Structure 1
Amino acid sequence: MTDLFEHQAQQQAAAPPTRRRSAATKRAAAKRRRRRQQRTAVVLVVVLGVVGAGGYLLWDRLDDMVGDLPFIGSQAEDYPGPGDAPVEVEIPEGATGAQMGAALVEADVVASTAAFNEAFGANPAAAGIQPGTYQLLTQMKASDAVAALVKNEKIQTDVTIPEGYSVDQIVERVGSVTTIPAEDLQAALKKPNSFGLPKQAGGNAEGWLFPKTYTVQPGDDATSLLTKMVEQTKTELSDLGVPKDAWHDTLTKASIVEKEAPDGYQGEVARVIQNRLDRGSPLGMDAIDAYGRGKPADQITVDEFNDSEFPYASREQIGLPPTPISNPGTASVEAVISPPQGEWMWYVTVNLDTGETKFTDSYSEFEQFKSEYQAWAAENS
């Protein structure tokens, strides 16, 4: 009943920065860190000596004195540049300026996060730095490192496609994260043979673009990326033992499960779908109508729900919709392949916070579940 996957996509945490360095570069960086630690130790000895000599010293006085001590100044530690050995640094999706600085310090590109933060704040274009893997140099001046990043000349970019995304959402995400324009993807989608879309898809890529993290290399284009996505879907279906002639229907069912089922209830929802199909009943699932109409279910009118001429009118049409309604992940496909046994025909998510969902083969019990949800909604509105 609810689309949990948009929420999951927003909660994804940025991956920790990675780097690739030679052994010599690592040894040099370690020496520099030891020198900085030694300088810090000397300062601490001096400060502690001052405190020990005058136990009455207040912290505000200590702050004033530390500011005047040798080795401590307001200027951030920075390399003079222009740089030394090539090094690859990954800027994760969603990284802040501070996280970028930490990644560059770890890779010994800049001398300190403070220097990077100052340079980041001074460069108006810094907010436009995109996620991806960049080739920089060790021991760069911080301002030069920021200037290199704002060019967005990435070696590669990772783009994550969440389960349940539609083709339109995938196009938007790829276009915003990678160097492949959304317009190129839209043009490529009109040529399904160019990226290996099976004939049973009917020229529509919905459901066939497998959700996972893809690496986009320089030179990759819309067609090559779409090809990777379709091939991954074929691989998943084959590995799960789905016969080729059942691929389209399996993806269509799984796409409904992906949009309708709260986490943990994929199998039960898959069983309800199959039971309704077996009994010749309309699927009657709002996610189908919402996909077809291109708007949320609560904005669909009664006349639209009851339009028997509309192929995605799930209250009127018998059988599956003409296409999948999202791009499902492995868990939803597995649920369709092996749903649990049960006579369920209806279900209601009675608590949207916990996702608790109840299933029944009794319409009167279904009405009770609806009342239970309405009571929860009234208490939590």
Structure 2
Amino acid sequence: MSEVFTELNNTQYRKAKARRAYRRKKRIRTALVLFITCVVVVAATVVAVPYVHSVFSSQAVSDYEGPGSGEVIVEIPEGATGTSMADILAEADVVASSSAFVNAFKSDPRSASIQPGAYRLKLKMSGQGAVSALLDPATKAELKITIPEGFAKAQIAERVANVMEVPLDEVTAVINDAQALGLPAEANGNAEGWLAPATYTVAPNADVTEVLSDMVSKRITGLEKIKLPRENWQRTLTVASIVEREVNWPEHYGQVARVIENRLNNTDQVGGKLQMDSTTMYGVGKFGGIPSEEELQNDNPYNTYLYPGLPPFPISNPSLDVIEASANPPAGDWLFFVTVNLDSGETLFSNNLEEHSKNVEILRQWYAENEKTNGN
């Protein structure tokens, strides 16, 4: 019986020993797997770090250093956001990336004041450099064409040709092309009077036709703004073009317009003749001064000393203020006017030749007293 127990104990001992050996081997295998796994992870990390760094570097903001070089003209459109500006600049290689500009744009509180328009910028600028350049008025690449009030179309053509550096013949051809300008039917094919005086901002690559047609468009918009009846457009422009050339002081615009209307309807003293120096000089190709005796006798439809009524077309391009005053002149019986003080603009109006002659003497006296001052 004792032998049986002994054998049983031996069997249990061997099984227990085998179980302990199995568990020891299992721990060793687990430890080995963990060790190998750690080695693999570490190795993979060592290999992956440069790649990951490269990936993150490529995603980081890339930016040029320095002020840049070369030159490119970039157009910033109306309503452009910082992001849209960034895309335009990045595409033109002004900045290295959109992000570089956007970050600089957001960090500069002045950025909101960047204006639309054409800019002359350098290539390969830093984001901050590009923002600063767009804020600098000196980088604006646009042209400014100022058309003074009262300029005739020939003077406008010359001004446009000079500023845009294009042949005068090219500008003249466009200014005489009613269809290209978009002239309304009321203009009867003549742009005189229909080119609104103003200062125009022009892109460096702008087309002459585009520039001149903008002047016509501005004129039409102005006439609509003051609610001038369309059927009165051309006549009012013609009257206003004379007023603009005859007097420079706003307080007299309406009165001079009334003189014109009165003379057109007067057959007694003036026979319906305007007798205006401005129209007579225009007829001989001049835009100022006092006509000579020869010029007063020059036979052309603008010589209002020879012919009654309004000239066939406007003689200048008047301001909107003059147009409005000419459309609604004050009541009065004036037939004559003369500016008796060229410094103050004092102008005297009369309804008869005798009084007018006295006023002319006042002007002559002013000239005599101011002869040295005026260099005469």
TM-score by length of 1: 0.59
Q: 1:349 to 1:228 in 2, by over 3 A?
A: same
Q: Give the superposition deviation at 1:153.
A: 10
Q: 1:204 to 1:296 in 2, by over 3 A?
A: closer
Letter in 2 for 1:306: Q
Letter in 1 for 2:310: L
Partner residue, 2:257: 270
Partners of 1:171 and 1:186 within 8 A in 2: yes
Distance 2:351 2:161 in 1: 45
SS in 2 for 1:322: coil
Partner residue, 1:95: none
Runs of 5+ consecutive residues of structure 1 not aligned to the other structure: 1-78, 90-131, 140-151
Distance 2:288 2:200 in 1: 31
Partner residue, 1:5: none
Partners of 2:73 and 2:141 within 8 A in 1: no
SS in 2 for 1:359: strand
Distance 2:139 2:66 in 1: 23
Partner residue, 2:112: none
Partner residue, 1:135: 120
Partner residue, 1:377: 367
Match for 1:165 among 151, 160, 164?
151
Q: Give the superposition deviation at 1:310.
A: 1.7
Q: 1:327 to 1:266 in 2, by over 3 A?
A: same
Q: Write out per-residue CA displacement over residues 41-66 of structure 1, whole angstroms, 9 at most, x where no aligned residue.
A: xxxxxxxxxxxxxxxxxxxxxxxxxx
Partner residue, 1:100: none
Aligned residues: 252
**Matching of residue 213 in structure 1 with residue 204 in structure 2:** no
SS in 2 for 1:351: coil
Q: 1:361 to 1:329 in 2, by over 3 A?
A: same
SS in 1 for 2:340: strand
Q: Write out per-residue CA displacement over residues 253-312 of structure 1, whole angstroms, 9 at most, x where no aligned residue.
A: 0000111013131111111011111225200110001111123665633243134x4211
Partners of 2:121 and 2:139 within 8 A in 1: no
Distance 1:377 1:206 in 2: 33
Distance 1:344 1:370 in 2: 15
Distance 2:160 2:345 in 1: 30
Match for 2:241 among 249, 255, 258?
255
Distance 1:81 1:239 in 2: 47
Q: 1:353 to 1:231 in 2, by over 3 A?
A: same
Partner residue, 1:313: 303
Partner residue, 1:105: none
Larger deviation, residues 370-379 vs 291-300: 291-300
Partner residue, 1:359: 349
Distance 1:337 1:204 in 2: 21
Q: 1:296 to 1:245 in 2, by over 3 A?
A: closer
Match for 1:291 among 269, 272, 282?
282
Larger deviation, residues 176-185 vs 159-168: 176-185
Q: Give the superposition deviation at 1:184.
A: 2.2
Q: 1:354 to 1:206 in 2, by over 3 A?
A: same
Distance 1:208 1:87 in 2: 32
Letter in 2 for 1:136: L
Q: 1:380 to 1:195 in 2, by over 3 A?
A: same
Q: Give the superposition deviation at 1:234.
A: 1.0
CA RMSD of aligned residues (A): 3.3
**Matching of residue 235 in structure 1 with residue 258 in structure 2:** no
Q: 1:87 to 1:244 in 2, by over 3 A?
A: closer
SS in 1 for 2:302: coil
Partners of 1:275 and 1:345 within 8 A in 2: yes
Match for 1:282 among 259, 270, 273?
273
Q: 1:267 to 1:313 in 2, by over 3 A?
A: same
Partner residue, 2:182: 196
Q: Write out per-residue CA displacement over residues 174-201 of structure 1, whole angstroms, 9 at most, x where no aligned residue.
A: 2222355433211212321122112332
Distance 1:299 1:342 in 2: 27
Runs of 5+ consecutive residues of structure 2 not aligned to the other structure: 1-64, 76-116, 127-137, 372-376
Partner residue, 1:340: 330
TM-score by length of 2: 0.60
SS in 2 for 1:197: coil
Q: Give the superposition deviation at 1:242.
A: 1.6
Partners of 2:281 and 2:295 within 8 A in 1: no
Distance 1:238 1:293 in 2: 33
Distance 1:265 1:337 in 2: 14
Letter in 1 for 2:173: A
SS in 2 for 1:325: coil
Q: Write out per-residue CA displacement over residues 326-374 of structure 1, whole angstroms, 9 at most, x where no aligned residue.
A: 1000111011111111111001110111111010112211111011111
Partners of 1:282 and 1:319 within 8 A in 2: yes
Letter in 1 for 2:213: T
Partners of 1:133 and 1:157 within 8 A in 2: no
Match for 2:68 among 67, 79, 82?
82
Q: How does 1:65-76 map to 2 (within 5 A)?
A: none
Q: Give the superposition deviation at 1:80.
A: 7.3
